[in-house]
């Protein structure tokens, strides 16, 4: 039975893209359970199976959503395997998806209060689920019931918060008074977002060195000419590398995890 309570919004993130019908099917499952649930598409263009990218997008979007939003995230290379399906309650929201670390960025901001493994088949779409589409058969219906007021405890067996799979963000390292960081995300503009936060360079003159190439810092993309490189603090609060009117990833050929060095002058 659904507990009578205010309906919560569901924020959806997947790597499904929009060319196929997978996202629409998940929304159809949610609407079948409760057509009054607001649904917000965070993104469906996470690079295929790229958990790091999903982690980054969820972590940075989470603070901008209403309290008690249900975040339904499906980037799931291990679908059909022994990895757990989970629902997690935090102080500001709920998380539903595979236990493969894609929620670890959010959990660093807003630690889990409780978590369950989604073992109660009463809240699945069908008991005989597809081994390749848990988004449709488990995660979407569970998110719908949770958003409709079903308590977390009803969805399955309680699990230890400490047992949730973690993907901790590598911390920048101080080396010879410089900062060595790495690329943690690449957006669709080709901007390279590092794991170095703004406070590391506040009130300092700084540049980035990549492959013996120096990239000067600035405040906005237009501080350099069209086609020129710049490093700056992005709207997300992380230091990024960009090209005014161009694609820094294509130019520099960097990938997730590649190292960068910040120098101070």
Are 134 and 76 in contact, with CB atoms under 8 Å apart? yes
Cβ of 242: how many Cβ atoms within 10 Å? 26
* Cα(256)–Cα(259) distance, integer angstroms: 9
**CA 122 remoteness from chain centre:** 28
The domains of the chain are located at 10-163, 173-264
The token duo for 174 is 């101080």
3-class secondary structure, 44: coil
Ranges of H-type helices in the chain: 22-33, 51-61, 104-109, 134, 140-147, 248-252
* Cα(112)–Cα(90) distance, integer angstroms: 5
**CA 134 remoteness from chain centre:** 18
Q: Is the pLDDT of residue 251 over 70?
A: yes
What pLDDT is attached to residue 1? 47
Please list, in sequence order, all residues whose beta carbon lies within 8 angstroms of the beta carbon of residue 94, skipping any fewer than 6 positions away.
8, 68, 69, 70, 71, 87, 88, 146, 152
Cβ of 170: how many Cβ atoms within 10 Å? 13
Q: Is the pLDDT of residue 220 over 50?
A: yes
What pLDDT is attached to residue 265? 84
Q: What tens digit of pLDDT does each residue of 147-178 get?
A: 999 999 999 999 999 999 998 777 899 888 89
What pLDDT is attached to residue 40? 98
**Candidate CATH numbers 3.40.50.2300, 3.40.50.150, 3.40.50.10790, 3.90.1150.10; the one for domain 10-163:** 3.40.50.10790
The domain over range 173-264 is classified in CATH as 3.60.150.10: no
Q: Is the pLDDT of residue 214 over 50?
A: yes
């Amino acid at each position: 039975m659904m507990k009578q309570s205010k309906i919560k919004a569901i924020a959806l993130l997947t790597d499904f893209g929009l060319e196929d019908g997978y996202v629409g099917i998940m929304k159809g499952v949610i609407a079948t359970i409760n057509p009054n649930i607001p649904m917000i598409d965070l993104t469906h263009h996470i690079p295929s199976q790229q958990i790091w990218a999903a982690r980054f997008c969820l972590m940075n979007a989470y603070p901008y959503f209403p309290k008690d939003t249900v975040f339904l995230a499906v980037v799931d290379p291990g679908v059909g395997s022994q990895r757990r399906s989970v629902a997690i309650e935090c102080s500001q929201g709920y998380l539903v998806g595979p236990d493969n670390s894609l929620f670890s960025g959010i959990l660093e901001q807003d630690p889990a209060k409780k978590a369950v493994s989604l073992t109660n088949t009463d809240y699945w779409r069908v008991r005989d689920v597809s081994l390749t589409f848990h988004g449709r058969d488990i995660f979407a219906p569970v998110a719908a019931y949770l958003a409709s007021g079903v308590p977390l405890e009803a969805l399955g067996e309680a699990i230890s918060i400490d047992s949730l799979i973690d993907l901790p963000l590598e911390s920048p390292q101080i080396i010879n008074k410089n900062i060595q960081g790495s690329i943690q995300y690449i957006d669709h503009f080709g901007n390279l977002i590092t794991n170095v936060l703004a406070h590391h360079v506040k009130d300092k003159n700084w540049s980035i060195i990549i492959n013996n190439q120096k990239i000067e810092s600035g405040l906005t993309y237009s501080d350099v000419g069209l086609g020129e490189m710049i490093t700056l603090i992005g709207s997300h609060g992380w230091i990024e590398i960009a090209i005014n009117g161009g694609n820094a990833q294509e130019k520099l050929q960097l990938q997730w995890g590649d190292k960068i060095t910040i120098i101070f002058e």
